[in-house]
Chains A and B, each alone.
Chain A
Amino acid sequence: MSRLSTESELNTLRETLVSARQTIVKSITMCGGTGCQASGCKAVVEAVKAELAKKELADDVDLKVTGCHGFCEQGPLMVIEPGNIFYCHVSPEDAAEIVETTIVGGEAVERLLYTDPGTGEVAKTESQIPFYAAQDQVLIGRNKQLDPQSIEDYIAGGGYKALAKVLAQANPEAVIDEVKTSGLRGRGGGGFPTGRKWESCRAAANGQGRYVICNADEGDPGAYMDRSILEGNPHSVIEGMIIGAYAIDSNQGAMYIRNEYPLALKHSQVAIEQARQYGLLGDNILGSGFSFDVEIARGAGAFVCGESTALMASLEGKVGEPSPKDIHTTEKGLWDRPTNLNNVETWANIPGIIDNGGEWFAAKGTKTSTGTKVFALTGQVKNTGLVEVPMGTSIRTVVFDIGGGAPEGGKVKAVQTGGPSGGCLPVSKFNLKIDFDTLDKAGSMVGSGGMVVMDEKTCMVDVAKYFLEFLQDESCGKCVPCRVGVDRMLEIVTDISQGRGRPEHLDLLEELGETIAETSLCALGKTAPNPVLSTLKYFRKEYEAHINDGQCPAGVCRELISYKIDPDKCNGCGLCAKACPHDVISGEKKQPHTIDQEICTKCGICHDTCKFDAAIVV
């Protein structure tokens, strides 16, 4: 690969790459996202490779491992061209049949196709699957088309075209205007207008240079959009950053990537190296005279570092504590220089906006929340995975049409959005549109895009307790309202969940929550009461049942329940006794078993194990 020094050299390279790819007729695309890797896609790739070699087809078939396709629950996923045939749950043993039947014979292997669990309909292509049909995969869709470790794939698909366009026009203000026209708002959770942020950073006095940062410290539990974008299409983020740097006049950039995401780290490193080799990063990019380079910093496992000032402190090698924002980081950020920080998904949207125009982006979504947003749909829902929909799509569409509702036997009760900063919304609110302002008003938030579906087996007091425990653990401890306030809220909610709650606790929680929200230093503390306040607002009855009746309606809170074995249903198979991690179940073979209540920890494993519904919650 040689350095590109003009826009026309980039175009020539693209043409060469595109024409070379036009000869490819047959291709196998394997999803290689973390989800599919966990499901064993690597072994499948090896098996397919071996099978192709055996049949001497290796040169005729393009075998590609890509980033996340989104439908993680069904992994490992495979797409075969021609025909856009979609296979799910592929195993290495299927390789021979796939090559023989589909690659050679051109027919689909029926048993590997997706069957809709609701209707029983078999889908041959992705577009026939309801999970994909209702989506608009602007960002995630590109993951399926390229090998994340090949800059050539990215360039062939139109990559770095937007950067070349921006450099050729040589008008940074026009770039900012285009982003402002798009209406793009920060995808990390804050929802601040991106164009305005860039504008204020550009306007800040530039003594020793400005910084551009990509926040890839995705820490919200239940969210992995950024991980999938970085793993699957790192060049889109890097191109976005270079364009942003050009617009605000910066020469130095950093990507702060979570250490728990090794694949995202590796792919970003490879992408940066490749971009440097092609002269798309470094000095005098495409002969424009503009220079910019990016370094990678690994996060060290602190949720609070997702907050911009804490992240910058961490980049400086310090403890990740936030600072007051009376002076914006766009004026005084990393090393006290003007710093523009955006989240992974925000950066990834930039090339598309420049390519297609701000108005193209603004035409999607709602008036105040434009474009598409990627959500991680997880929890008690049939189709878990990454979902990209235009802003303004209803919660119902996402949870039921795309997600397929609760798994067998369950009933959806609520959805939790926005991670620990967000809230829980009941089914009665599912007609709400997902956009920044609507969810905010309802007491939750879009946040970075986690959507955890909860069913009737989820206790909302337990959920509130879970988030408080998380926040107490992750609070950096710098300011009193967050450090002490969250601790006190956790004490009260723990009391409620253990049967020591008093009626006045509920008002106290609300009062405490409001104080913490008003007085905390950073967004972590300011939004920390949301999970409690939203569950109190919509699920107050559950709190009251714990306090007044000493009952946990969902059968979750351990101090309020116990497990018993129904002697009429128990046939003495002994499965539960074997499964019990603390050996508290005993009984003669083929005779009803009993649980020693004295030492039972109420973990519920017996309940999950019993095939005859004999281990019951009372």
Chain B
Amino acid sequence: MITAVNDKLREIIDARAGEPRFLIECLQDIQETQGYISEDAMHAVSERLCVPLIEVYRVASFYKAFSLKPRGKYIITVCMGTACHVRGSHRMIDEVSGQLGIEAGETTEDQLFTVESVNCLGACALGPVVVVNGTYYHHMTPGKLRKLIQSFRDAEQEALENV
């Protein structure tokens, strides 16, 4: 049986057909393409790379780079590294969960925001650091973070009004 996945994923998976050693690399490309690893994608990977499904699931759930659930449009990553911790990064988590009503690892119901905490982003000199969709925001304070979230909401609102 060949599980149906879209063409893009099919291309990613077929390029590594019969090569179990490329499992992680393959999942990384899928994660980048569709933002998470769907059950169908895991089935297709298992079939084509010749890796038992349980092993695909094991790898996909072991590494933090993979998400098994769809994520929001704005991915807010709060660095919880030591340097950010001693400069009060837990306050950023408090602010985000207060603002969005979700905990780290969760996505808002409207699929707009996902909050993640990461153990270190390596920008320690500038802590507390928050990254949104790859853009770094340094020396963060709860106030700055609140404005940042509001700016995304405003942008979404504006986009809706312009439709």
CA distance A37 to B137 in the complex (A): 10
The answer on a CB contact under 8 Å between B122 and A218 is: yes
Contact pattern, A 439-455, Cβ under 8 Å of B = 1, otherwise 0 = 00000000000101110
Residue A404, interface by CB 8 Å? no
Closest to B93 in A: A603
Distance in angstroms between the alpha carbons of A35 and B124 in the assembled complex: 8
Q: Does A67 contact B (CB under 8 A)?
A: no
Instruction: Please tell me if the beta carbons of B25 and A298 are within 8 angstroms of each other in the complex.
Output: yes
Q: What residues of A have a CB within 8 angstroms of the CB of B85 in the complex? A: 221, 466
Considering only CB atoms, which chain A residue lies closest to B79 in the complex?
Answer: A221
Which A residue sits closest to B145, measured CB to CB? A581
Stretch at the interface among B3-11, B63-71, B150-158: B63-71
Closest A residue, CB atoms, query B143 = A579
Bitwise, B91-134 to A at CB < 8 A (1) or not (0) is 10011011100000000000000000011111111110100001
Q: Which residues of B contact A376 (CB under 8 A)?
A: 83, 124-125
**Interface residue from B21, B122, B138 paired with A39 (Cβ < 8 Å):** B138
Contact (Cβ within 8 A) B126 A317: no
Do A579 and B126 have beta carbons less than 8 Å apart? no
Chain B CB within 8 A of A544 CB: no
Which residues of B sit under 8 angstroms from A319, Cβ to Cβ? 58-59, 62
Residue numbers in B under 8 Å from A463 (CB-CB)? 86
Closest to A37 in B: B136
Q: Does B28 contact A (CB under 8 A)?
A: yes
Interface flag for B75 (CB, 8 Å): no
Residue of A221, A259, A601 near B83 (CB, 8 A) is A221
Q: Report whether B94 and A378 are in contact in the complex, using a CB–CB cutoff of 8 Å.
A: no
Q: Determine the distance from Cα of A601 to Cα of B143 in the docked complex, in whole angstroms.
A: 17
Q: Which of A316, A378, A581 contacts B125 (CB 8 A)?
A: A378
Asked if A473 is at the interface of the complex by the 8 Å CB criterion, the answer is: yes
A379 near B87 with CB under 8 A, answer yes
Partner of B146, one of A220, A221, A227, A581: A581
- A contacts with B, residue count (CB < 8 A): 66
**A302 with B64: in contact, given A319-B59, A376-B125 (CB under 8 Å)?**
yes
CB of A234 closer than 8 Å to a CB of B:
no
CB-based contact A223/B95 at 8 Å:
no
Residues of B within 8 A of A38 (CB): 123, 126, 129, 136-138
Give every chain A residue within 8 A of B80 (Cβ-Cβ): 221
Docked-complex contact A259 and B86, CB < 8 angstroms: no
Highest count of chain A CB atoms <10 Å: which of B23, B63, B81, B142: B81
A459-483 CB contacts (< 8 Å) to partner B: 463, 466-467, 470, 473-474, 476
Contact status B125-A297, CB under 8 Å: no
A380 to B85, CA, bound (A): 11
B118 touches A223 (CB 8 A): no
Whether A72 sits at the interface, judged by CB under 8 Å, is yes
Q: Which of A202-221 contact B (CB under 8 A)?
A: 218-221
A361 to B25, CA, bound (A): 38
Instruction: Write out the residue numbers on chain B whose beta carbons fall within 8 Å of the beta carbon of A315.
Output: 21
CB distance from B122 to the nearest CB of A (A): 4
Tell me whether A458 is interfacial, beta carbon within 8 Å: yes
Residue ID in chain A nearest B21 by CB atoms: A317
Whole-angstrom CA separation of A408 from B87 in the bound complex = 14
Inter-chain contacts of A221 with B (CB < 8 A): 80-83, 85, 119-120, 124
Please list 24 pairs of residues, one from A and one from B, whose beta carbons are closer than 8 Å in the complex, sorted by A's number.
A34-B122, A35-B125, A35-B138, A72-B123, A223-B124, A260-B121, A297-B24, A297-B25, A298-B25, A300-B27, A300-B28, A319-B58, A379-B83, A379-B87, A452-B124, A463-B86, A470-B119, A476-B62, A581-B142, A603-B91, A605-B91, A605-B94, A605-B95, A609-B142
Closest 6 CB pairs of A and B: A581-B98, A301-B64, A72-B125, A378-B83, A38-B136, A300-B63
